[in-house]
Amino acid sequence: MTCVDLFAGCGGLSLGLKQAGFKVELAVEKSPMAAETYYHNFIRPVDDPEEWHAFHEDLSVEEQADAGLVVRELEAVLGSERIISRLREADIDLVAGGPPCQGFSLAGRRDPHDKRNQLPWQFLSFVASTNPKAVIIENVSGFRNDFRKHGARSPFEELRIALAETGHGYAVQPMLLNAVHFGIPQHRPRVFLVGLRSDLATKANISVTAETWDSSLDSPDVSLIGQRPALAPQRSHFEDELAHRHLTVADAIADLVENGCDTKGSPSQYAMEMKSDSRFLVGIERRVDRPNDLSNHVRRQHSDLVERRFRLYQYFRDAGMRPGVLALPLREDKSTYWVRQSLLDAISNVQYPVRSGDGTVVARNQRALMRLIGRLATKKHSQRALAWEKPAPTIVSLPDDYVHPSSPRVPTVRELARFQSFPDAFEFRSKETTGAHRRKFEVPQYTQVGNAVPPRLGCALGSQLIDILNSSIKVARRNQKATAVA
């Protein structure tokens, strides 16, 4: 089975599709920073920066396509008749990707200058030109509701209709899949449109629904399997199933060395799989898998004040307190008396001394804690300390949203990659992070990880499609034989 990955990023979806059994014929990614990671892991190890620079700066779009990776806008690929013809003749099985779609509208077809519509329409144009057997489109879960006003269709519904009408037509199943349901230690709900070409859907007797399938509705009860749409992957992990429980932060990163010692015991089965899995990655023979030499496992340095804030977040987590307590001293709309009383109420049940996740004393008494909260006050509500015993929340592109469960620091790139199900052999390239004003055009390592489709989720989607495509091929062959006999 063959596929093309558009808006490929660092390659999370490509890796998952490879694990499912697909051969990636072409990937397209406009960011040189994310594309370098893709190239390094799937095409050729980047030992010489000049070699990579020559590839993405000097080669034509056709020459890059011959190597398997185009570092350009999708528009450049659509403009190459040679590339499109080659893919059309190759009879591609799957086109997948996550085009930005937040402002998508069917009306945009009439307005080519509407930038919100250009990329999804280019994606659909690519599908129409190459006529793949199946299509996967991924986006953030809020995309289902964006711009829904006065009964108007959401961009997600508009895109579903547009895909169904693309080319010779597709049977399209909308779905909401949470990564934690598929053996990934992270709550990460994302919406997908999975389409099967109409002729194949008819032959394989595949039906779809306009209603979005939610993976949380899936059940280990085999008697309920028929309720899941045919194109939706089967959920593998459940909150209350001991043998296949949701994976946690501890499962993902507890084995990683911290301060020279093992903090949480022997590696979990998941961690061992992340350590040992090097399938489909190039240059593995030169990569060292000893824990102390993990790639992308650089602990960030923080000021003493920031470390104290992080330790306080860890205490808030253990005490069941909201991190928003640190915003109370900054309430300009309230009196000093109100702020003080609110703080006293918030910490009324605190047991002293206050200790952080690693046992460090944060405050010895109430006065010290009140003073510390005043010094560490912040309006940032998204920061929180991760909990060992729970799945991670959705990994995002900013490194400072989450705090390590027991150390006063943000997680490393490698730790976030573990939450995303990237194996340790997968190396992220370019710089780790960037400044706020550069985030619009730079894609550093933390952003690459946060934007990626978890490989294991890509594998689940790909495996389901391979089963269906193989089934449709068998049906077609049986029909051909029956026709020949008749």
Contact assessment for residue 452 and residue 9, using Cβ atoms and an 8 Å cutoff: yes
In one letter, which amino acid is 472?
Answer: S
Token representation of residue 439: 């985030």
Contact assessment for residue 377 and residue 256, using Cβ atoms and an 8 Å cutoff: no
Classified by CATH at the fold level, domain 2-244+453-485 comes out as: Rossmann fold (3.40.50)
If you average pLDDT over residues 126-131, what whole number do you get? Answer: 98
If you average pLDDT over residues 85-92, what whole number do you get? Answer: 97
The model's pLDDT over 31-86, given as tens digits with 9 standing for 90+, comes to 999 999 999 999 999 999 999 999 999 999 999 999 999 999 999 999 999 999 99
What pLDDT is recorded for position 224? Answer: 60
For the chain, the helix, strand and coil percentages under 3-state DSSP, each to the nearest 5: 45, 10, 45
Residue whose C-alpha is closest to residue 208's, from 224, 222, 197, 220: 197
The pTM of the whole model exceeds 0.85: yes
Which has the higher per-residue pLDDT, 396 or 462? 462
Please determine, for residue 23, whether its predicted confidence score (pLDDT) is greater than 70.
yes
The model's pLDDT over 419-455, given as tens digits with 9 standing for 90+, comes to 999 999 999 999 999 877 777 789 999 999 999 999 9
Which has the higher per-residue pLDDT, 289 or 103? 103
Contact assessment for residue 2 and residue 93, using Cβ atoms and an 8 Å cutoff: yes
Contact assessment for residue 61 and residue 77, using Cβ atoms and an 8 Å cutoff: yes
The model's pLDDT over 139-167, given as tens digits with 9 standing for 90+, comes to 887 666 654 554 567 888 989 999 999 99
For the ranges 163-177, 341-355, 436-450, the lowest mean pLDDT is seen at 436-450
Alpha-carbon Rg for the chain in angstroms: 25
Token representation of residue 20: 């499912």
Helix (H) or strand (E) holding 139: strand 134-140
Identify any residues that bridge with 70 across adjacent strands, giving them in sequence order: 28
Distance (Å, whole) CA 410 – CA 307: 10
Residue 3: C-alpha distances to residues 14, 18, 125, 280, 462 (Å): 9, 9, 16, 15, 10
Domain ranges of the chain: 2-244+453-485, 304-411
Residues 3, 10, 101, 459: which is the catalytic one? 101
Q: Is 10 a catalytic residue?
A: no
What pLDDT is recorded for position 286? Answer: 55
What pLDDT is recorded for position 115? Answer: 58
What pLDDT is recorded for position 291? Answer: 46
